[in-house]
């Protein structure tokens, strides 16, 4: 049996995360932001209690790598969106539905996105899940498995584009984490990506 399957903290953390995320997406869209914010606060707490928060590069380095990497990831998504629109599959409709579901309608939603949700996703999926997996398996395999586990959480939504997006972005941010060992770097990169995706240049 793989040793990471005996890591009760990892298994327990994942089960709790999946349960909370399932509940979040099972409720109506009107309460999504409340439930997902609470979920991320809980997952941040798990990470802080069980793991040391890695910050092995300076703030300047984190900015120099985080800003362009977030922008580049956004451009890859733009290209992917264009290529998918050429296929007979009705992906444009699903993208529109996703933007409607995750719509930022109030100021407080922007605040929790920046201060809680973005850090929470990076702390838990990279700073907790990936970090614990890497102790037991090779870094490349750990990145792939962690990205898959991250994507699995979004399978509760039923949107295959969101599942794939979570997996692909998980690979990128996972690789950045293995490379530089800096959660602040990942938070910056994730913030820049979301800034373009949701605010400056949405795909729709």
Both structure tokens of 54: 């890695």
Domain ranges of the chain: 3-200
Integer CA distances (angstroms), 76 to 119, 142, 203, in order? 22, 23, 12
Checking if the pLDDT of 1 tops 60, the result is: no
Tens of pLDDT, residue by residue over 146-183, are: 999 999 999 988 889 999 999 999 999 999 999 999 99
Separation between Cα atoms, residue 116 and residue 39, nearest integer Å? 10
Lowest-confidence region among 1-10, 48-57, 187-196: 1-10
- Model pLDDT, residue 6: 77
Burial (CB count <10 Å: 0-12, 13-18, 19+), residue 87: exposed
Checking if the pLDDT of 4 tops 70, the result is: no
């Amino acid at each position: 049996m793989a040793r990471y399957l005996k890591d009760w903290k990892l298994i327990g953390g994942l089960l709790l995360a999946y349960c909370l995320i399932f509940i979040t997406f099972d409720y109506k869209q009107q309460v999504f932001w409340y439930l997902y914010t609470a979920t991320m606060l809980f997952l941040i707490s798990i990470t802080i209690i069980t793991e040391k928060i890695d910050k092995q590069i300076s703030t300047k380095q984190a900015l120099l790598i985080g800003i362009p990497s977030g922008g580049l990831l956004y451009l890859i998504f733009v290209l992917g969106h264009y290529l998918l629109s050429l296929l007979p599959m009705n992906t444009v409709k699903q993208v529109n539905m996703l933007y409607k579901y995750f719509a930022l309608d109030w100021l407080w939603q922007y605040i929790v996105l920046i201060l809680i949700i973005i850090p929470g996703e990076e702390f838990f999926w990279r700073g907790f899940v990936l970090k614990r997996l890497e102790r037991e398996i090779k870094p490349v395999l750990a990145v792939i498995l962690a990205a898959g586990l991250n994507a699995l959480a979004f399978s509760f939504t039923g949107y295959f584009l969101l599942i794939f997006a979570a997996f692909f972005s998980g690979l990128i941010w996972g690789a950045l984490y293995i490379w530089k060992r800096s959660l602040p770097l990942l938070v910056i990169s994730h913030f820049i990506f979301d800034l373009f995706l949701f605010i400056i240049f949405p795909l729709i």
